[in-house]
Each structure stands twice: as C-alpha cells, then as structure tokens.
Structure 1
Amino acid sequence: MSGGYASLGGVDISGSVPVAASGDRSPLQFQESNLQTFPPTDVKGKIAGSYQPPRDADDSFSKPGPGAQNGSLDGQAQGFGGWFNVVSYRPYFNVDTSDVLERIRDSFLPHKGDFVEKTNSNPDMYGPFWITTTLIFVTAALGNFAAYIAHKTSSTSDHWHYDINKVTWSASMFYGYIALVPLLLYFLLKYMGVSSSLVQLWCLYGYSLFIFIPASVLSVVPVEIFRWVIVGIAAVMSAIFLALNIRSHIKTASDRWFLVVTGSFLLQLGLALVMKLYFFTFTF
C-alpha cells in the first residue's frame, strides 16, 4: 500500500470502491420544459389581462349628470333613437341616498322655494318614480285597511270585502298626474316663451307628492275630522311647495305667472281632495 492510491490502477481490491473511469463519461442531459411564457397583453376582462373593476364600480354615479346640464349624453345615441336607449336616461338617475333624502327634506319646507335652484344642475327621476310608486301602494293598502276598521266600528252586519280596484285607480291617478300635468305645464311654458326643462318639472312634482305618504299612514285613524285635518295640511304644504318653486322659476320670464302658479296650486289641492274622498272616506 506504499504506492498510494495511484498504484491501485485497475486492481480489484476487495472491500474497496473502484475509481470511476474517466473515458466513458456521458454528459447528463436535461429535457427542456414545455412551459411557455406569454408576452403581456392589453386584453382586459375577467380571465385574461390585469384586473379591472367592473364598469359600474367606478365613481360615475357620484358625479353630476352631464345630460342634465347640457343635454349631451357623452356620445350616446342622439335624436329620436335616443328615446329608446336605456343608457340615455342614466344621467337622470345619477343621485345617491343623501341627495334623495335632502330633496325629500326640502319638500317639507315649502316656504323656502329654492328646490328648483338646488336641483337645476342635476334633476333626477329616481326619487319621483319611487315616491309615486310607494304612494300608489300605500294609499291602496291603507285605504282598504282604513275601510276595514271603519266597517268593524260601524253597526252594519254586512261582510267586508277587500277592494282590489283601489290599486288600479291609485296607479291611474298618481301615475297619470305625475306624467301628464308636468308635461302640459312644460308645453304651456314653451308657449309663453319661458325656458323650462321637462325633467326638472317631473322632479319637482314627484317630490311634492312625498308628504302624502305619511298623510296616508295617519289617515288610518278612524276619526273623520282628524283625517280631513291631516290630508288638508299635507295638501296645503304640497301645493305651497309646488307653487313657490314654479313662481320663482317663471316670475321674471312671464307676466302671466300668477295664472300658472294658481292653476298648479289648485290642481295639487284637487289631487289631495280626490285622494281623501276615494281612499279615506267611508259610508256604512
């Protein structure tokens, strides 16, 4: 063993590990991966590309509606075809809860007469639609409930029946009023040479009806004089709110403003009177 490891050579020594031969080495081969890398893409969507929030998640609904100011709809369909495009009406629903609540609060303060001025840049149809729809079902349901209470407290022995026609009449009356009266007023103001906005008038009339919702709730009380007082107060407040805002809008533009304001005031009182007589007046 004095020769060291070099003298081992090709000798097979028991118990030892043979030296690996250097002449037959084969390089270790690695298979290339089949994975592919893709270049960045500009495709946006839920699967490919970087994450983008949905279109409705931006802050467009917290900004003033462009259609309410200059009539443009940001490249949307114009002309006659725009009337049948749902997107064309999006600017008129561009309000949040705080806006609607503030406008409802202003309708309970009729003496200010600044509702038109506050909503001039962004009138909405969201509040008027839901206020009118709520009023329809409230008056129909509570009208039947008040009739039931009046029947139970009366001396009649007849059976009481729910009047489903109240829903139909309520929808016809309130939807017809909120749609046609502002439309007629719009054409009247155009004839008088007064610049006005139809959406602004719908907004004004719609919020003027909100006070009739709590009045309908209180009209369930089976005391006739109390019902007249409640509906009367609601009618006067609503009519004053409507009249003062129309007056502030057209007084400086027409000499016949008094007739228009008086007519609007009386029509609002007439609506309240019809509501009281049809839904909350009972004879058994």
Structure 2
Amino acid sequence: MMAGKYTHLDDQKVSGSVPAVPDQGEVAIKFADSNLHTFPPSQTQGKISGGSRPPRDADDTFSKTTFGSEDAQPSGWFRSFTADAYKPYFDVDTSDVLERIKESLFPFRGSFTEKTADNPDLYGPFWICTTLIFVAASISTFVTYIAHKLKNQDWAYDINLVTWSAGVFYGYVLIVPLGLYVILKYFSAPSGLVQLFCLYGYSLFVFIPALCLSVVPLEIFRWVIAGIAGFMSATFVALNLRAHIVSAGERWFLIVAAIFLLQVALSIVLKLYLFTVTV
C-alpha cells in the first residue's frame, strides 16, 4: 500500500465493510405470474376464503335484479301504480270489442252486464272516448271551415273544441261511474267499478255516428239525431243496471230514473255545443 493511494485491498475481514460482488453480467429478474388481469381473481389467498364473494350472512338486496321477479312485486295499494294491475282489463281482441259495440247499439236487450261480468275491459271505453273527441273536433272544424269559405271570410282553428270535448267525455266516463259506485254501495247494492266504467264507455259509442250525421245542415234533423242517440244511450245504461239496482230496495226506481235522465242530459249538452254547427 503506497502513501496517499490504494493499489489494492488486503484480503481480510474488516468490520463494517461489504464484500465485493463479482460481475456476473445482466441478470434477468423474473416476476411470478399474477392473476390481476382477471377480476375477480380465480384463486383465493389469505384467511378470507372466496375473497371475491360476499359472506354468506351478507345482505345482497342491492345486487339482486328486481325486474321480473315475483318477490319484488308491490302489494296492496302500491300495486295499483303498476302496469301489471291493469293488464287484465285490456285483455280483449277485436272480436270482443266489436261484439260489445254491437250490444250497445241494441239497448233493449239489457244483457251487456251479464256478458261482460267475467271480463270487463277498459280498452273499448278508452278508444271510444278518444274517437269521440277527435270526431267532434274534426267535424265541427270542417263544417265551420266550409261555412267561412262559402262566405269568403277568414277562418281560424278553435283549439277549445278539442280540450272541451276531452273534458266532457273523459270526465263523464270517470266521474259518473265513480259517483254511481259510491251511491250503490251506500244502498247495499255494490257493483264493480271497472264494470261501471266499461258500461258507460260503451254507452257513448252511439254518439259517434250521430256526430257524423250532424253535418247535415238541418237543425230539426240534428235535434232528432241527438234525441235518438241520447235515448238509446240512456236506455242501454238504465236497462243494464236495473236488474242489479232492484236489490237496493224501494228506491231502485229513483236511481234508475236518475241514471236515465243524466244520460239524456249529456245528449242535450252535446247537441248544444257539438251538434250545433252552421253552414
């Protein structure tokens, strides 16, 4: 060893020194294969067996699919807010609806409630009311348009015809059966609410051809058409409810008479506001 320079180190054990590592070239470091490219891992490690699965006593309510399962279906009043509650009332085909419409055009039979007792529908009443709304608005609009053109006057569409017709027909089919349902229940002669909706809905079908005939520019003819349609509709409702209301006691005649007169009053209102069009 020279002073100020180190030419070599003595091969001796020196406290605190690190032995030199011989140069072995490039060393390839190998990593163990990992299963992180798949989730959840296929193998389990550690003390928790099946780490990708919840414990057996865990609440998996949020992981269950609620759609289509019977256990998740609401019950009680909450079921009335689901579509499944109303499916049975739309389970009719074209032949059923046409048969019930035909039955409404022969009001003296009085067998409509018997034929629809097992399967009252809301499909026919909904489309009958909707058709009435558009027929009433379109016919009134068409007739007033022709009248203005013949007189060389400016014509403007009245949107109130649609809103007024919708309020009359939808309101009548909803409010009147609901009120009658409460009255019959009070007199211990309860009737099905859906069956009343069905009866009153089909009773309005006769006003569709009556509205079409109101195009004829004769006021007397329009009154006759409105009277015939109102009488047929009122008779249809009254006779179909008479057999059921008889069990209400001595006041059954007053109830039937009120039902008949209310239906006639509807025809008068329709005559004054929808059948009265001038050319």
Q: In 1, are the aligned partners of 2:189 and 2:247 still within 8 Å (CA)?
A: no
Give the partner amino acid of 2:80.
W
Q: In 1, are the aligned partners of 2:89 and 2:122 still within 8 Å (CA)?
A: yes
User: What is the CA–CA distance in structure 2 between the aligned matches of 1:162 and 1:212, rounded to whole Å?
Assistant: 23
User: What is the CA–CA distance in structure 1 between the aligned matches of 2:149 and 2:243, rounded to whole Å?
Assistant: 48
Shift of 1:157: 6.0
Give the partner amino acid of 2:95.
S
User: What is the CA–CA distance in structure 2 between the aligned matches of 1:202 and 1:233, rounded to whole Å?
Assistant: 22
Pairing partner for 1:141 from 138, 141, 148 = 138
Give the partner amino acid of 2:254.
L
User: What is the CA–CA distance in structure 2 between the aligned matches of 1:241 and 1:102, rounded to whole Å?
Assistant: 15
Q: In 2, are the aligned partners of 1:149 and 1:222 still within 8 Å (CA)?
A: no
Aligned to 2:252: 257
Pairing partner for 1:112 from 106, 109, 113 = 109
Per-residue CA shift, 1:173-199, capped at 9, x if unaligned? 110000000000000111111121000
Shift of 1:259: 1.4
Q: In 2, are the aligned partners of 1:150 and 1:222 still within 8 Å (CA)?
A: no
Per-residue CA shift, 1:7-50, capped at 9, x if unaligned? xxxxxxxxxxxxxxxxxxxxxxxxxxxxxxxxxxxxxxxxxxxx
Shift of 1:251: 1.1
Aligned to 1:83: 80
Q: In 1, are the aligned partners of 2:245 and 2:256 still within 8 Å (CA)?
A: no
Aligned to 2:168: 173
Q: In 2, are the aligned partners of 1:215 and 1:230 still within 8 Å (CA)?
A: yes
Identity %: 61
Indicate yes or no: 2:268 matched with 1:273: yes
Q: What does 1:182-197 align with in structure 2 at a 5 Å threshold?
A: 182-197=177-192
Q: In 2, are the aligned partners of 1:146 and 1:280 still within 8 Å (CA)?
A: no
Q: Which runs of structure 1 show a deviation greater than 4 angstroms over 4 or more consecutive aligned residues?
A: 150-153
Task: Name the SS of the counterpart of 1:260 in structure 2.
Answer: helix
User: What is the CA–CA distance in structure 2 between the aligned matches of 1:223 and 1:81, rounded to whole Å?
Assistant: 53
Count residues with an aligned counterpart: 210
Question: What TM-score, normalized by structure 1, do the two folds share?
Answer: 0.69
Question: What TM-score, normalized by structure 2, do the two folds share?
Answer: 0.71
Moved more, 182-191 or 75-84: 75-84
Indicate yes or no: 2:222 matched with 1:227: yes
Task: Name the SS of the counterpart of 2:110 in structure 1.
Answer: coil
Q: Which runs of 5+ in 1 are unaligned?
A: 1-54, 56-72
Indicate yes or no: 2:192 matched with 1:161: no
User: What is the CA–CA distance in structure 2 between the aligned matches of 1:165 and 1:83, rounded to whole Å?
Assistant: 32
Q: In 2, are the aligned partners of 1:150 and 1:282 still within 8 Å (CA)?
A: no
Shift of 1:161: 2.2
Indicate yes or no: 2:235 matched with 1:240: yes
Aligned to 2:49: none
Moved more, 272-281 or 199-208: 272-281
Shift of 1:125: 0.4
Greater CA radius of gyration, 1 or 2?
Answer: 2
